[in-house]
Amino acid sequence: MWSLTGRVSTPAVATALAVVSLGALAAAPAWAADAPATAANQPAAAAESAVWTPKEVQFTYMGFTSTYTCDGLRDAVREMLLHLGARKDDLKVIETPCSGPPDRPNPFPGVKIKMSVLTPAPGNPPPDVKTVEAQWKKVKLPYPATGLQAEGECELLEQFKDKVLPLFTTRNVDLHATCVPHQLSPIGTQLLTEVLVTDQKKSGTREASAADAR
């Protein structure tokens, strides 16, 4: 059955994954629920100085297990870019010309990406270079997909990691994925990384002060 984004799954695989998921939940240790509270008690990361830097790339997807419509790939990629901290104001994700109807899965959908991402500021930036305060943020992809939908993005995550993720300032990149053509993997699919993003608390304070001044 085709989903809205053209992903494919089989009843047998879906049943197997459901059993695995329930088993994992049952086996989860009791202290897992306390993890968020423990993390909240950790000291806040120090802010770093960064600058917005323009980036461009053309990304073409080729998958065997999951396929996408042209606008479906555009939406999935845009969501990941925003989650990684691309600046929303000037982000452009434009689908490349599609072969066939735009609402049907395409064998080679592609997008052209233009965006601004944060990179570390130079030691002594020129006066005309505007810097912003940034911090490292832990990010998990796919977002917001979970369960079977996340498993269906295995091939997309592999290709996104190689072609698009290097445009961001990242560290500790860790991809958990075993992509097998025409099969959904029961072991889990996720991409973990730390990425340099704006310091939301200080940005919010500055925006509030500017609004008060007006």
Q: Which tops the pLDDT comparison, 80 or 176?
A: 80
> Residues near 26 by Cβ (< 8 Å), separated by ≥ 6?
none
Question: Which band of pLDDT confidence, cut at 50, 70 and 90, is reported for residue 14?
Answer: very low
pLDDT value for 208: 37
Total domains in the fold of the chain: 1
**pLDDT of the residue at 89:** 96
Looking at the domain assignment, is residue 131 inside a domain? yes
Does residue 13 belong to any structural domain of this protein?
no
- What is the band of 173 on the pLDDT scale with cuts at 50, 70, 90? very high
9, part of any domain: no
Question: If DSSP states are collapsed to H, E and C, what string results for the chain?
Answer: CCCCCCECCCHHHHHHHHHHHHHHHHHCCHHHHHHHHHHHCCCCCCCEEEEEEEEEEEEECCCCCECECHHHHHHHHHHHHHHCCCCCCCCEEEECCCCCCCCCCECCCEEEEEEEEEEECCCCCCCCCCCEEEEEEEEEECCCCCHHHHHCCHHHHHHHHHHCHHHCCEEEEEEECCCECCECCCCCCEEEEEEEEECHHHHHHHHHHHHHHC
pLDDT digits (tens, 9 = 90+) for 124-136: 877 888 999 999 9
Does residue 7 lie within any of the structural domains?
no
Q: Quote the domain boundaries for residue 164.
A: 46-213
At 97-128, the pLDDT tens digits run: 887 777 788 889 999 999 999 999 988 877 88
| Residue 128 resides in a domain | yes
- pLDDT value at 211 more than 70: no
Residue 81 inside a domain? The answer is yes
Query: Would you state the structure tokens that stand for residue 137, as one six-digit string?
Result: 């943020």
In this prediction, residue 22 carries a pLDDT of: 30
- Is residue 2 in some structural domain? no
Between 102 and 34, whose confidence is greater?
A: 102
Query: Does 58 map to a domain?
Result: yes
Sorting pLDDT into bands at 50, 70 and 90, what band is 200?
Answer: low
pLDDT of residue 86: 98
pLDDT tops 70 at residue 201: no
